[in-house]
A and B are shown apart, each in its own frame.
Chain A
Amino acid sequence: MKGPELLSKYTDTLKSRMGACIPGQRTVFRGHDLHAELMEMDWIELYVFGVTGRRFTADQVRLLHAIWVCTSYPDARIWNNRVAALAGSSRSTATLGISAALAVSEATIYGRGIDIRAIEFITSARTALENGAELGDCVKKELKRYRSIAGYGRPLASNDERIAPIMNLAHSLGLDIGPHVALAFAVNDYLLAGRWRLCMNYGALSAAICADLGFSTREYYLFGFPAFLAGIPPCCIESLENPEGTLFPLSCSHILYEGPPKRRW
């Protein structure tokens, strides 16, 4: 079936296994009564249940919390945060600024774009190793394809302060021994031993932990969506508290023009 016949089949009514609100009565969330069955759920547990349809243990949820907590940076210089801060400074609404900041977090060199590549690399490398491939070949293949390895190296720094606290917690919970986490560190060792100056960053570790928890690539991508969220509102709040228009104001001399000379229209 295709074309108008296919479209006609879908008009006006949505058949769903994800959920529905029956106003005044109840809400179904992935086959469960939200208010009767899921009310005791931690919010992140509910969020991850919404993404995966699976339940996670209390320790696993605690580690997922930590993955988000340790990357919540209320620094308005950071590009995505700066969007929300500029919204505040420009006296836009916080919701618009924060929404745009999260959308901007789907970037090529950080955030969601890296998340996808990082979990794809670590899971496909593991599969390749199980099938007899060499670690070095996996690394070189990825470097040849992308000239980088998602989760290794960092735009603004060479090391990553988030790795130790996450690993400390993961260790205390017994969740640091998964094969993807081990592989992430093996890749790090390989890169450090070679000529590449690429240290493992938060992106590789977070992807490896979630791969060990059974996340698919798409699930991990969606899990990461709010990862930076907690750090963003403070940036917006502070710029709202300051005089309007005072977040990184740019004078004409802040612009370095490198274009063609003046000419007549």
Chain B
Amino acid sequence: MDTVKQTEQIRTRIWLEEPEQDNPFATKVAYCHGYDVYGEMLGNARWVEMLFLLFRGEAPTSTQAELLETLAVALANPGPRDPSVHAAMCGGVGGSTAASCLMAALAVGAGQLSGGREVFLAMNVWYRCGSDLTAWQREFEGPPDAAPSIWPPSEHPPGFDPHGVSTASTVKQTLIQLAGICNGNNLAWLEENFAHLESAANCPLAMSGVAAAAFVDSGFTPEQGEMLYLLLRLPGAAAHALEQWQYGHKRFPFFTIELENDPAREMP
């Protein structure tokens, strides 16, 4: 019988750690995709450069870093009207744990309406259609994917606002700013053609659609874009959750409910 305790291992292409001499559980040097994080990156690398490196495996060019940083600012706070921030505030107002507020924001902000899944789906459309307007039109005319899924069926073209009337100014400002950072890409094409796409989608472009184009231009996969979108929208959720705890629950809406089948009312 083999009595040697087998060491299980986690495989990674991202992270290498070398131990301190006196403790195999303490880190002496940590490398991210080959770069010495605490010895060389710290003090020299920006937050978005680290983000880009983690997901793409290579340091970004200055243009790529600027694009991601600009997008990160645009996404940082969806504002208290956004359902994901609303969910975080529901945690904050009752004094729920910090993590639960973020989990609430993630759960609600994960969906197919303005959420991470919408970005995932929109990025897939980008990778299928690129800058082929006819392909986009065919995409929107076709039936939605009916494969059984944990996700509810899609109800609108991903990346577009089903409740919008015209393109929101904040969406246009974000698109213009991002498209101005790097020319000759999907963002620039989107800036020129979004009115045609909106016509095909029968609703205006949404922030998630701009984010999807930016993630595609940065070379992220749909899975990576979904993760980044979830991550980059958390700061606002956190800040608003903390703020509502300060305001207190008496100043937070409880809303009204109208029961359509109240047994007390239905009794003769």
Contact = CB atoms under 8 A, between A and B. Distances in A.
Interface stretch (B26-34, B71-79, B236-244): B26-34
A12 B254 CA distance: 9
The majority secondary structure among interface residues of chain A is mixed
A253 to B, nearest CB: 6
Interface in B1-47: 7-19, 24-25, 27, 31, 33-36, 40-41, 44-45
A20 B257 contact: yes
B262 to A, nearest CB: 6
B255 A103 contact: no
Nearest to A29: B263
Nearest to B253: A12
Given A257-B12, A258-B11, A14 B163 contact: no
Contacts of B44: 265
Interface residues of B, number: 50
Nearest to A96: B99
Contact of A96 (B36, B57, B100): B100
**Could you say which interface size class chain A belongs to?**
35 or more
Interface in A4-57: 4, 6-7, 12-17, 19-20, 26, 28, 30-33, 37
Given A13-B258, A259-B57, A252 B45 contact: no
A152 to B, nearest CB: 15
Contacts of B150: 106, 112-113, 116, 221
Contacts, number: 137
Given A3-B164, A264-B40, A16 B100 contact: no
A253 B16 contact: no
Contact of A265 (B11, B19, B35, B262): B35
Nearest to B265: A28
Interface string B45-57: 1000000000001
A204 B232 CA distance: 38
B183 interface: no
A46 B233 CA distance: 36
B148 A259 contact: no
A121 to B, nearest CB: 8
Contacts of B14: 259
B108 to A, nearest CB: 13
B148 A17 contact: no
Q: Which 3 A-B pairs have the closest CB atoms?
A: A120-B148, A259-B13, A251-B24
28 contacts: A3-B164, A4-B163, A4-B165, A6-B163, A7-B163, A13-B256, A13-B258, A15-B258, A20-B262, A26-B264, A96-B97, A96-B100, A103-B107, A112-B150, A116-B150, A249-B25, A250-B10, A250-B25, A251-B19, A253-B19, A254-B7, A254-B10, A255-B17, A258-B12, A259-B16, A259-B57, A260-B57, A265-B44
Interface of B: 7-19, 24-25, 27, 31, 33-36, 40-41, 44-45, 57, 59, 97, 99-100, 103, 107, 148-150, 162-165, 253, 255-264
Given A13-B256, A259-B12, 10 more contacts: A12-B253, A14-B255, A17-B261, A20-B262, A113-B150, A252-B18, A254-B10, A255-B9, A256-B12, A259-B57
Interface of A: 2-4, 6-7, 12-17, 19-20, 26, 28, 30-33, 37, 92-93, 95-96, 99-100, 103, 106, 112-113, 116-117, 120, 217, 221, 249-265
